[in-house]
Amino acid sequence: MATESLLPLESNPEVMNKFLQKLGVPSNWSIVDVIGLEPEMLSWVPKPVIAVTLLFPISDAYEQHKRKEENDILSKGQEVSNNIFYMKQKIKNACGTVALVHGVANNLDKIQLNDGPLKGFLDETKGLDANDRGAIFVKSEGIINAHKELAQEGQTNTPNAEDPVNHHFITFVNKDGVLYELDGNKAFPINHGKTTPDSFLEDAVKVCKEFMARDPEEVRFTVVALAASE
């Protein structure tokens, strides 16, 4: 496991889009802000939406729910598609990049990925398990260097890589008609039930609201979507 710490990516669509384009994602797909979670505001998000990323504070409530959720799934089981791309996070503060990779990697039927570091990484890790993918990701210089470059950008003061960071990115995708939560710090993908391309954004937002409801005193939540560029 790598001992290196990265500067965290900001939840900033401009920075995220520069990062994705460096990795080979064409400009006809882009990260956009989801400025509100009510139906009228969701209607403003460009369609189609193929991934939703949530930035949230890591709290005791999150950790408690994570443990309970994992125990419940281990005892009861869950169905997970063999087609899902999932990787473990094995480098500190890389959760933003892991979340973006999850969003792109599970939508290669829609995204015509250009040659670049992400395509090379996905080709190299095809068929591997989540731990092996995470280990190879740590050594993927093209992706890591792009992260380092773009983490310097953004609207807020850039922290030191060793500073404590208590925010975490996760991504939701629709794979084979099922809504999955992909969190590189969890033991496995989380199956949140059926969804459709048309209802995916609303279904993902329902789960985002559950995160918010578990921390009612907290306001530091941000939602962005990977959507077709207007």
- The beta-strand segments (E) located in 2-79 are 29-33, 49-57
Which sequence positions are flagged as catalytic? 95, 168
Tokens representing residue 179 in the block: 């809504």
Q: How many CA atoms lie within 13 A of 54 on its CB side?
A: 27
Amino acid found at 182:
L
Nearest in space to 34 (alpha carbons), one of 55, 62, 9: 55
Tokens representing residue 19 in the block: 């990062």
Q: Is 153 helix (H, G, I), strand (E, B) or coil?
A: coil
The pLDDT of residue 55 is above 80: yes
> pLDDT at position 206, please?
97
Place of tokens 């500190």: 92
Amino acid found at 165:
V
Beta-carbon contacts of residue 13 (< 8 Å; ≥ 6 apart): 30, 31, 32, 33, 224
Tokens representing residue 111 in the block: 């995204």
| Terminal C-alpha separation, the chain | 40
Domains (ranges, CATH) in the chain?
13-228 (3.40.532.10)
Beta bridge partners of 212: none
Mean pLDDT confidence for 118-141: 94
| Per-residue pLDDT band at 155 (split at 50, 70, 90) | very low
Mean pLDDT confidence for 147-162: 61
> pLDDT at position 216, please?
84
The pLDDT of residue 152 is above 50: yes
> pLDDT at position 164, please?
47
Tokens representing residue 21 in the block: 């384009």
Nearest in space to 106 (alpha carbons), one of 166, 29, 41: 29
Tokens representing residue 125 in the block: 């890790």
> pLDDT at position 91, please?
85
Summarize pLDDT for 14-45 with one digit per residue, the tens: 999 999 999 999 999 999 999 999 999 999 99
What distance in Å separates the CA atoms of residue 147 and residue 8, rounded to the nearest whole number?
8
Q: What is the bridge-based pairing of β-strands 222-228 and 167-175?
A: unpaired
